[in-house]
Amino acid sequence: MGKFKIRFVDIIYWIAIIGADIFIYMILGVMQMDYDDNYDSSKGEYWSLASMNNWQLFFYFLLQLWNIINIIGLIFIGRKIYKRIKYGT
């Protein structure tokens, strides 16, 4: 089995990716707080799409899209780790 080298540049790269991901989640979370602040029960049930305006819907779907992108990324990373462990490449 080949020796796996971890370079300092790789560590900085992954820290930057994780930091950017957390930053995007923070921004989307702050934008979702608008819904909590302006919720009107006469428009529909809490967290129903009917009770959201267009801006809130946009950020809601953007957050769901970001969740899907993160799941796909985790599957990709898990697959690479599995291949590296199983085949040693």
Q: How far is CA 87 from CA 2, 3, 34, 74, 84, in A?
A: 10, 13, 49, 20, 6
The total number of residues shown for the chain amounts to: 89
pLDDT digits (tens, 9 = 90+) for 26-51: 999 999 999 988 898 899 899 899 99
Confidence at residue 3, expressed as pLDDT on a 0 to 100 scale = 64
For residue 13, how many other CB atoms are within 10 A of its CB?
Answer: 11
What is the DSSP secondary structure assignment for residue 6, as one 8-state letter?
-
pLDDT one digit per residue (tens) for the chain, 89 residues: 556 677 899 899 999 999 999 999 999 999 999 998 889 889 989 989 999 999 999 999 999 999 999 999 999 999 998 998 888 76
